[in-house]
Amino acid sequence: MLFFTGVPLFLMELSLGQYGAAGPITVWKCCPLLKGIGIGMLCVSILVCLYYNVIIAWTFYYLGSSFQSPLPWSCDAIANAALCGNGTAGNSSSGRVLSPSEVFWNESVLGVVNSEGLHDPGPVRWPLALCLLAAWIVIFLCMLKGIRSSGKVVYVTATFPYLVLIVLIIRGATLEGSLQGIAFYLTPDWSRLANAQVWNDAASQIFYSLGIGVGGLLSMASYNKFDNNVIRDTLIITTGNCCTSFFAGFAIFSILGHMAWRKGVPVGEVADTGPGLAFVAYPEALALLPGSVFWSIMFFLMLFMLGIDTLFGNMEGITTAVLDEFPHLRENALHKSMFLGALCFCFYLMGLLLVTDGGIYWFTLIDAFSTSFGLIIITLFMCIGISFFYGVNQFCQDIIDMICHCPPWCSILLLYFKACWVVITPFLLLFILTYIFIEMYNTSLLYGSYVYPRWGKALGVCIGATCCLQILIWAIVAISKETGTLKDRFHKSIRPLNSWRVNNLRSTARVEEPERVEAPFTVTLTDMDYTAMSWEMRSEA
């Protein structure tokens, strides 16, 4: 998934944003028929921002709880004496013995023990609601400062996690049962490849971790210099992302191996899957370290900063898309501040459902379907649209124009990417989609031992379908605005607008400019958009 979908699609989206110097909606002036791809990306970003900031709220809660000695989820805490002593207390509904960190997560943080399921959200947990409010206030302040406000923080957030992971790996290697956990981590179970959910998870994880298909990557790339080497950036970012994930696995599975050894159960049964794993296994590992309070504060502070950076990218995708469509909001600082404040406040109100007693069930539902088949369909149409409508040869030439002095290795890699964009990546995405749809009703959605009802899965399917249906809706709108036969309308709607070409000429001038130049323009299709101006003239310019 990384080499045949992740890397090619990452380069495509990065190049498209940098070359067009526009957000996920306006950039499709290169092919107006596919404007719905940008709208679909916007829908996915909204869903991701809705639930992702809840993770930051959990991080806030853990960060505040870390200023206690002993840590409230450690065996040294008096309240956990029974759990760490004979193990008779803290049994889950499935009969599995829970650790103090799992009890703290389920009871103190989530309150999920007070909910029966998706139909029973229960009351809002106000400590979490306050943490969520604080998280959105931080995001609002970051958005006011702009994209450069996160640049300096990255120097810390990009290096400090490695220090924490190294310490956890060293500490985990000294614990009983750690080798069992690492062996479980490195031993593949090939039979799982017959499960469609595994393929779905692989695609969703690659796309989500690299920011593909959610619009944030396009928006962030639009601020790059026009001559930035996108191929070099693609190789560095995708390789670093994958290696970091693999490296982090040693830390968590060494701890899971120790937890399995203590409980006398297989590693696969030691902890529930889902977002709680990072708030169960890692806190338990931190409680075992000397100076656990200090390391817990550092870990959750690091997690908070990383979460802010990630959510900032998604929010940038939303705001850039809206501000590109309504440039008068960008020109007036007061109007922009009011828009950002209203946007964050609306997200906060919608997110209150996810911080109720049963909020984790809704969180898992949105998480499972917001980046599922809908995201894959969006990226599939993006790949097909650029390769066959805009033209893969023209797109490769655009990349060469940006790099200017393209080294020989860049030209060779472009041949590989061209083969992926035209054949390999669409085929693999179609294969995964077919597999997902065949097995969709045979695979149950779970959170722990809770099985989601049919109406819950149906709601999740509607969430995913809403995102990808934007492609069809806006394609019909684009064709209906044209004149002539249906074939003529189609051909007109896939031709780039003149304003796309003019914007590229302005983008070239941005090379020497420190600030991004914004200019209002329209995406309305008229006969004036189709002139005799040739692509050769634009390339020479």
The answer to whether 272 is a known ligand-binding residue is no
Q: What is the rounded distance in angstroms from the CA atom of residue 506 to the CA atom of residue 150?
A: 26
CA dihedral 525, 530, 535, 541 (to 10 degrees): -80
The helix (H) or strand (E) run that includes residue 324 is helix 292-325
Q: State both tokens at 532.
A: 């005799």
340 is in an annotated binding site: no
Omega into 70 within 30° of 0, i.e. cis? yes
CA 363 to chain centre: 14
Residues 432, 193: Cα–Cα separation, whole Å: 11
222 annotated as ligand-binding = no
Whether 337 and 145 have beta carbons less than 8 Å apart is answered as no
Distance between CA atoms of residues 379 and 216, nearest Å: 14
Cα–Cα distance list, 466 to 32, 46, 47, 325, 377 (Å):
20, 12, 11, 21, 12
Residue with tokens 């502070």: 301
Q: Which residues pair with 447 in a beta bridge?
A: 450
Is 337 flagged in the annotation as binding? no
What is the full DSSP assignment across 195-229? Answer: -HHHHHHHHHHHHHHHTTTSSHHHHHHTTS-TT--
Cα dihedral across residues 494, 28, 418, 506: positive or negative: positive
Q: Which residues are annotated as a binding site?
A: 209, 241, 306, 309
Q: Which residues are annotated as a binding site for Na(+)?
A: 209, 241, 306, 309
